[in-house]
Amino acid sequence: MILILEGPNRTGKTTFIDFLCSVHEFVTIKPFDVDFLVSLEANGYPPVAVKAFVYGSLLTSVKTFKNLSMPNVVFDRFHISEAVHSYSRGYVALPETFAIDEMLSEIGAKLLLMEDTPFKLEERSGKDKAGLMNIFNALYNQSKMDKMRYNLSDPATDVIKWIFDKVAV
């Protein structure tokens, strides 16, 4: 099972990943380190170089995990998060995002969007962060993957059942 976990900061992604790892033996993978991307930018790498690094990493991850038999893998942020944050890095990444989404769909990956109410996001993270939920929603809606929305305040039983349901081929 390959699970892609997306959503704005402070929606419970880490809490949910910790649960998956401790109870259901998932392995967490972060395809790139945001601090590393910031250091590339700080050291003068142009946006096109940062984009090439990020999308090269994402594509390599999809191609690698497509051929492995690792049973339970959760990617902590992936192509949708990068598309949301690419504007602040000085580039647009929608074509690459849709291509990666197609590849993930073809290999049966599932997309889980962690969400919360705009009021609660604003309360925890500020107005600027809460506005990102709209972009996450738009990209989520366009995804071709088997997908589900989840809020940590909801019971976990439905989302766990969905995660472990077989993907129809």
Residue 148 has pLDDT above 90, yes or no: yes
User: Could you tell me if 159 and 148 are in contact, meaning their C-beta atoms sit under 8 angstroms apart?
Assistant: yes
- How much of the chain, in percent, has pLDDT values that exceed 90? 37
Determine the longest span between alpha carbons in the chain, in angstroms.
47
pLDDT at 162: 94
Between strands 73-76 and 27-29, the pairing is parallel
- The pair phi, psi for residue 137, each rounded to 5°, is -60, -45
Rounded Cα distance, 20 and 15, in Å: 9
Q: pLDDT (tens digit, 9 = 90+) per residue, 58-81? A: 988 888 888 776 678 999 989 999
Exposure letters 27-39 (e unless 16+ CB within 10 A, then b): eeeebbeeeebee
3-state SS, one letter per residue, for the chain: CEEEEECCCCCCHHHHHHHHHHHHCCEEECCCCHHHHHHHHHCCCCHHHHHHHHHHHHHHHHHHHHCCCCCCEEEECCHHHHHHHHHHHCCCCHHHHHHHHHHHHHCCCEEEEECCCHHHHHHHHCHHHHHHHHHHHHHHHHCCCEEEEECCCCCCHHHHHHHHCCCCC
> Bigger pLDDT: 126 or 67?
67
- Nearest-angstrom CA–CA distance, 108 and 128: 33
**What's the predicted TM-score (pTM) here?**
0.86
Answer whether residue 117 shows pLDDT above 70.
Answer: no
Q: Which fold has domain 2-164?
A: Rossmann fold (3.40.50)
Extents of the domains making up the chain: 2-164
